[in-house]
């Protein structure tokens, strides 16, 4: 048995020996990461663009009011009707990408939760939903992996929530960036609508 | 994509090719699972891409990416186990060992790592996989140096049954 000091020097080599044969598919990693990174950028641009647009509309509105007469500006300033960036970004009219365009592979879960905006990436087998600073991803997984996930602390335990099997698939919720409360999670789960089967995209 | 965007995508892809194995291995040590490691590495690189200019301008782009990896892992785990705080060092945040002391069980080192608290795993990755100093590890994780030593010591105690046979093979 090795003492602590010598053990200290052996851990690194032991880990390296263990991972020696692990060879990730770097081309796949690069392609999926680039795709995810582009989506993330677009999402951020869309949100900041919507906020900037609303701010610009509000500014123009206030400016027009000022030009048309002093009383209008006062009314604008006091009015609850004036849009705010936050209200507009999270309003029902905010962009919600359809689950799939015609001919595209379909994602089997639809999120129907008031206040949440979701983008569906059927080809990646994921949907990304946001509400303000909160973010949750819905991941569809083949039914064949269900047993490996169920009760596994590093699989089910790493997910926010795991569904029961639905036909040939099940779903997990991952992420929760921004501090999803238990009540938020419950409401989110209640709004999930599952298709009876999943036409999994070819990989 | 335009010319500039194309060039950025090419640079990013080259970066993933050059650093992907290292980060994927770190992700594997942190998660103990191939699928989760893949998800973690992908989420990390997606964030890297979003901040590509900052990453490129960093003194060590791969260190920047590794920090994103660790933060992504720890913030996600913290949501799952919101009782753990970096400064807390109690016996209760290390669960019961999943690896038995009998080497004949051939329990995988990765499986043994998953029996550690997430922050302990991060300490192991930085200290022993990345060969970072105690001070560097403490700074990276935002905990004290004594907390790093304590967590490292506990982790080694847990991993000892698996490391001893390996050391006998590599250092007979």
Whichever domain contains B73, its CATH number is 1.10.1740.10
Q: Which residue has the higher pLDDT, A139 or B75?
A: A139
Residue range(s) defining the domain that contains residue B157? 83-172
Same domain (yes/no): B9, B34:
yes
Q: Which residue has the higher pLDDT, B171 or A5?
A: A5
Confidence at residue A197, expressed as pLDDT on a 0 to 100 scale: 86
Complex ipTM: 0.75
- Does the beta-carbon distance from A37 to B43 stay under 8 Å? no
Closest-CA distance, B45 to chain A, in angstroms, reads: 5
- Does the beta-carbon distance from B160 to A2 stay under 8 Å? yes
Q: Assess whether pLDDT exceeds 70 at residue A53.
A: no
Q: Assess whether pLDDT exceeds 90 at residue A135.
A: no
For residue B84 the two structure tokens come to 């753990």
Share of chain B above pLDDT 90, in %: 31
Residue A94: burial class (beta carbons within 10 Å; 0-12, 13-18, 19+): middle
Same domain (yes/no): B143, B103:
yes
A41: left (phi over 0), alpha (psi -120 to 50) or beta: alpha
Domain boundary among B23, B45, B80: B80
Confidence at residue B148, expressed as pLDDT on a 0 to 100 scale: 93
Q: Give the separation between CA B41 and CA B45, rounded to whole angstroms.
A: 6
Residue in A4, A11, A161 to test binding to B, most B beta-carbons within 10 Å: A11
Contacts of B29 in chain A (CB under 8 A): 15, 19
Confidence at residue B164, expressed as pLDDT on a 0 to 100 scale: 61
Same domain (yes/no): B93, B147:
yes
Question: Mind listing the pLDDT tens digit for each residue in B22-48?
Answer: 999 999 999 888 888 888 899 899 989
Same domain (yes/no): B170, B87:
yes
**What does the pLDDT average to over A169-177?**
83
CATH number of residue B172's parent domain: 1.10.10.10
Same domain (yes/no): B90, B162:
yes
Q: Which residue has the higher pLDDT, A17 or B90?
A: A17
Q: What is the mean pLDDT of chain A?
A: 69
- Does the beta-carbon distance from A14 to B21 stay under 8 Å? no
Question: Mind listing the pLDDT tens digit for each residue in A10-24?
Answer: 788 888 888 888 889
Same domain (yes/no): B58, B32:
yes
Q: Give the separation between CA A195 and CA B105, rounded to whole angstroms.
A: 43
Q: Assess whether pLDDT exceeds 60 at residue A119.
A: yes
Interface residue B134 vs chain A (CB under 8 A): no
Closest in B31, B131, B160 to A7, CB measured: B160
Residue found under tokens 């995209």: A201
Please count the other Cβ atoms lying within 10 Å of the Cβ belonging to residue A99: 19
Residue A140: pLDDT band with limits 50, 70, 90: very high
Confidence at residue B172, expressed as pLDDT on a 0 to 100 scale: 52
Q: What is the largest CA-CA distance in chain A?
A: 88
């Amino acid at each position: 048995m090795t003492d602590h000091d010598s053990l200290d020097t052996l851990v690194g080599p032991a880990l390296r020996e263990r991972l020696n044969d692990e060879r990730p598919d770097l081309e796949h990693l690069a392609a999926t990461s680039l795709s995810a990174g582009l989506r993330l950028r677009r999402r951020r641009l869309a949100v900041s663009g919507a906020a900037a647009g609303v701010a610009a509309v509000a500014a123009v509105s206030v400016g027009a009011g000022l030009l048309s007469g002093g009383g209008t500006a006062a009314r604008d300033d006091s009015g609850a009707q004036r849009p705010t960036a936050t209200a507009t970004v999270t309003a029902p009219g905010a962009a919600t990408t359809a689950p799939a365009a015609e001919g595209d592979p379909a994602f089997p879960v639809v999120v129907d939760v008031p206040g949440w905006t979701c983008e569906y990436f059927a080809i990646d087998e994921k949907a990304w939903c946001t509400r303000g600073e909160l973010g949750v991803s819905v991941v569809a997984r083949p039914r064949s992996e269900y047993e490996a996930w169920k009760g596994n602390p590093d699989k089910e335990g790493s997910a926010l929530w795991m569904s029961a099997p639905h036909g040939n698939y099940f779903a997990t919720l991952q992420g929760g960036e921004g501090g999803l409360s238990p009540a938020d999670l419950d409401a989110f789960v209640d709004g999930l609508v599952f298709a009876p089967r999943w036409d999994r995209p070819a990989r | 994509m335009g010319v500039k965007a194309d060039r950025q995508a090419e640079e990013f892809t080259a970066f993933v090719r050059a650093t992907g194995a290292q980060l994927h291995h770190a992700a594997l040590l942190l998660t103990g699972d191939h699928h989760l490691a893949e998800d973690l590495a992908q989420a990390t690189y997606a964030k890297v891409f979003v901040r590509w200019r900052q990453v490129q301008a960093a003194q060590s782009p791969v260190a920047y990416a590794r920090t994103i990896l660790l933060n992504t892992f720890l913030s996600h785990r913290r949501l799952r186990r919101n009782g753990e705080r970096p400064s807390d060092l109690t016996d209760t945040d290390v669960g019961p060992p999943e690896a038995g002391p009998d080497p004949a069980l051939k329990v995988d080192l990765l499986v043994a790592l998953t029996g550690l608290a997430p922050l302990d795993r991060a300490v192991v990755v930085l200290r022993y996989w990345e060969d970072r100093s105690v001070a560097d590890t403490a700074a990276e994780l935002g905990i004290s140096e004594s907390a790093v030593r304590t967590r490292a010591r506990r982790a080694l105690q847990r991993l000892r049954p698996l490391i001893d046979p390996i050391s006998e093979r590599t250092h007979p």
